[in-house]
Amino acid sequence: MFILRKTAIRELAKAQQALLKVVRTPVKKSRWLTEVLAWCREHDIELGDSDARQFWISRAGIVAIERWLALNNQSSLKLQAEQRENERSDVLSSNEKNASVSPMQHRVLVASCDLGLRLNQQQFFMINDTPEQVIVELSVSDIALSSYDYLVVVENRDSFNDWHRFAPLAVELDNPLVIYRGHERNHSKGCTAIMKRWRDGNGERGLVYFGDADVSGLNIAISSKVPYQHLLLPAFECLTQHVDPLLATPEHDFSLRDLTHRLPAPWLNVFELIYQQGALRQQKMFKLPLALY
């Protein structure tokens, strides 16, 4: 297994800065570059191209690295380089899985369809039009929660990546902050931290769970360290028409039948439906009108 060392991360961060102005930038062939190319081959990333004297790192190559880091809940190149430069003891890079503080412990991934933010990120995309959404990694303490009316936590990463497809269907959601729950079984520490901040500032208002329409999803929603006030799911009549009986898990659902004693009243009809008739995966909700419960 190849790793990215301190020098490699620092040089990649430098290249990333240079690529804000150009589509590719030259670097000398050296040991750190050899390590980076080996790491890229391992993860099917094409960093750039080479000539006889030097290697050219492309903007698309850096974007691919950043995408891999984000998908694996790792800090950005810039953040890792800054942390290492400051010799912070709590750094966790893509090679330091056993460090005491994870890179996402105080950070969250945010999906935004805001045009201004999309234009600001335009240089990273090899397309003529702006992307339909951008995903940014932010420190929990830096987010101005008072600027938002809802905090939406998305269960599945692929649905989070496609939030722009859901947003037009969620007409009841006005001015939401949309974050990713985390790839582990439980909420990430960053997600839990921002949910606590939200509850401290907003009380019993505006905290939304958006996940699969199944009994497990309901269990996640009420088992969170910070309780949710709302579910975001297809409108009930629509949900009734689209639940898939092939996704029913009667043995698992039976073990969670006592959820009815803990569920908020507006969620009971949803529970009865999916407990008896089946389930609906989040990825199948793209074309369905979404409602708050």
Contact 289, 238 (CB under 8 A): yes
DSSP state of 143: -
- What global pTM score does this model have? 0.62
Structural tokens at position 143: 């987010």
Q: What's the average model confidence in pLDDT over 63-79?
A: 84
Both tokens of 80, joined, read: 């890792």
CA angle 261, 182, 87 (to 5 degrees): 135
Q: Which of 173-187, 191-205, 227-241, 251-265 has the lowest mean pLDDT?
A: 251-265
- Confidence bin at 201 (pLDDT 50/70/90): confident
Walk me through the domains of the chain, giving residue ranges and CATH numbers.
Answer: 6-85 (no CATH), 107-292 (3.40.1360)
Q: What is the mean pLDDT of residues 117-143?
A: 70
Residue 81, token pair as written in the block:
């380089």
Q: Are 212 and 239 in contact (CB under 8 A)?
A: no
Q: What digits encode the pLDDT tens for the residues 206-257?
A: 999 999 999 888 988 988 888 899 999 999 999 999 999 988 877 777 777 7
Residue 191 CA neighbour count, 13 Å, CB half: 26
Residues in contact with 97: Cβ distance below 8 Å, sequence separation at least 6, in sequence order: none
The dihedral built from the CA positions of residue 43, 113, 140 and 266, taken in this order, carries a sign that is negative
Q: How far apart are CA 210 and CA 208, in angstroms?
A: 6
Closest CA to 228 of 215, 253, 211: 211
CA 176 to CA 158: how far, in whole Å? 19
φ and ψ at residue 74, rounded to 5 degrees:
-110, 155
Mean confidence (pLDDT) of the chain? 83
Within 10 A of 272 (CB to CB), how many other CB atoms are there?
11
Q: What is the pLDDT of residue 185?
A: 64
